[in-house]
């Protein structure tokens, strides 16, 4: 896919204006997302859309209280869509889709942070339902008094994977665990709020001030000073640090947070974790620590780590499982590699589809 085929929206103004621009620019994609998630909730959770909206209604006062500007933005998205039958609760349902599903979905992702003496790399394969891929978009958000934000988004959702002009970036790994709490913010809102901060430390402090996450999730966050793995839950978080080589890999199970009830759900998650670590160590061994600063880049990571198909279909580069019953098509929908260097503008490369497809490499910020 080329940059011309991927919607790229520039959103600016008040929170409500940002939402209206989002909703009107990506109306077709948002309506498609609502259709997809209605079906997913019905198939996987046995929820009617009315039941989904009942849970969304519980989140509404929480969002208004803890993130009032995002509440306004969500209202703007609904108004921007301007489609009969689409209201604020429908957009909240998209933003809280991970929490409402109660861990009954199986989106797997692999994320890597690598701290080098002169630069920080933050990267991820995002794996999810194939039919969501056609709706993905790039958003550039400008807000008064806050860093500019660039994200790959699911239209209708205010936060996702990306970075800001202060060189803070976030990746996400879904975790299946209980409990959840509708008195805390959904993870996609926390991703957005993290990107409104100017450092990893201030983002962590912001999340802690809000009480944490409404569901168990992992945010891999980095800035020019390093990375942390935030294993968040409604009952407390655990923050991981990179290993002695500056490498931090995460997949879809908690490594140290033992405060929640977390049954094993994706059998490929432990394999991808160890495989990702091993591939990074192999690169380091072959190139040498002294040359990593000049050699380690997005192309090398796509070729050597994120295109890996060992243990397919539950590989780092995920493919649909033909033997799955009932049949569900889950695969890698995009890869992003972000680079942060002191004294330089942050940058990223995004490939929609699998990392080694012939799809165009999209450079962010888009010139």
Cα separation, 337 vs 351, in Å, equals 9
- 136, 152 in Cβ contact below 8 A? yes
Q: What pLDDT band is residue 329 in, cutting at 50, 70 and 90?
A: confident
Average pLDDT over residues 338-363: 94
Q: Report helix, strand and coil shares of the chain as percent, to nearest 5.
A: 35, 25, 40
Q: What is the pLDDT of residue 338?
A: 98
Between residues 219 and 102, the one the model is more confident about: 219
Helices (H), the chain: 15-25, 27-40, 49-66, 68-81, 88-95, 97-100, 187-194, 200-209, 268-287, 289-295, 298-301
Q: Is the pLDDT of residue 324 over 90?
A: no
Q: Report whether pLDDT(106) > 70.
A: no
Cβ proximity of 337 and 123 under 8 Å: yes
pLDDT digits (tens, 9 = 90+) for 227-272: 999 999 999 999 999 999 999 999 999 999 999 887 777 788 999 9
| Cβ–Cβ under 8 Å, residues 154 and 96 | no
Q: Determine the pLDDT at residue 137.
A: 98
CB 171 within 8 A of CB 123: yes
Give the up-direction half-sphere exposure of residue 305: CA atoms within 13 A in the CB hemisphere. Answer: 32
Lowest mean pLDDT among 110-114, 143-147, 162-166, 288-292: 288-292
Q: Is the pLDDT of residue 277 over 90?
A: yes
Mean pLDDT of 282-295: 94
pLDDT value for 326: 64
| pLDDT for res 44 | 80
| Model confidence at 285: pLDDT above 90 | yes
Structure tokens at 265: 């759900």
CA distance linking residue 357 with residue 182, whole number of Å: 40
**What global pTM score does this model have?**
0.96
Residue 367 vs residue 198, higher pLDDT = 198
Which residues fall within 8 angstroms of residue 310, CB to CB, at 6 or more apart? 271, 275, 316
Residue 299 has pLDDT above 90, yes or no: yes
For 125-137, write each residue's pLDDT tens digit: 999 999 999 999 9
pLDDT band at 14 (very low <50, low <70, confident <90, very high): very high
Q: Average pLDDT over the chain, rounded to whole?
A: 94
pLDDT band per the 50, 70, 90 thresholds, residue 325: low
139 alpha carbon, distance to own chain's centre = 13
User: Of the ranges 8-12, 143-147, 257-261, 277-281, which one carries the lowest mean pLDDT score?
Assistant: 257-261
């Amino acid at each position: 896919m080329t940059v011309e085929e991927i919607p790229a929206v520039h959103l600016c103004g008040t929170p409500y204006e940002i939402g209206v621009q989002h909703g009107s620019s990506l109306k077709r994609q948002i309506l498609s997302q609502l259709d997809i998630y209605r079906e997913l909730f019905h198939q996987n959770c046995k929820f009617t859309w009315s039941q989904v909206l009942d849970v969304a209604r519980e989140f509404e006062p929480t969002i208004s209280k803890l993130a009032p500007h995002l509440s306004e933005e969500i209202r703007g998205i609904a108004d921007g869509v301007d489609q009969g039958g689409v209201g604020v609760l429908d957009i909240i349902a998209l933003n809280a889709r991970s929490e409402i599903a109660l861990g009954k979905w199986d989106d797997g992702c692999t994320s890597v942070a690598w701290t080098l003496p002169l630069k920080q790399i933050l990267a991820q394969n995002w794996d999810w339902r194939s039919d969501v891929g056609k709706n993905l978009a790039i958003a550039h958000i400008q807000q008064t008094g806050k860093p500019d934000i660039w994200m790959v988004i699911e239209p209708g959702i205010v936060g996702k994977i990306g970075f800001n002009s202060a060189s803070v970036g976030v990746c996400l790994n879904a975790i299946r665990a209980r409990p959840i709490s509708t008195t805390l913010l959904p993870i996609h809102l926390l991703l957005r709020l993290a990107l409104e901060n100017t450092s990893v430390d201030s983002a962590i402090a912001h999340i802690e001030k809000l009480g944490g996450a409404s569901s168990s999730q992992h945010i891999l966050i980095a800035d020019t000073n390093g990375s942390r793995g935030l294993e968040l839950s409604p009952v407390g978080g655990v923050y991981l640090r990179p290993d002695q080589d500056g490498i931090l890999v995460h997949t879809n199970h908690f490594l140290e947070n033992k405060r929640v009830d977390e049954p094993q759900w994706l059998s490929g998650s432990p394999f991808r974790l160890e495989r990702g670590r091993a591939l990074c160590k192999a690169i380091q061994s072959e190139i040498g620590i002294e040359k990593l600063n000049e050699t380690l880049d997005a192309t090398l990571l796509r070729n050597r780590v994120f295109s890996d198909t060992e243990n397919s279909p539950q590989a780092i580069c995920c493919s649909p499982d033909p033997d799955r019953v009932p049949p569900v098509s889950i695969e890698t929908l995009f890869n992003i590699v972000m680079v942060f260097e002191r004294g330089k503008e942050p940058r990223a490369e995004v490939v929609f589809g699998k990392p080694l497809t012939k799809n165009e490499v999209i450079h962010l910020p888009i010139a």
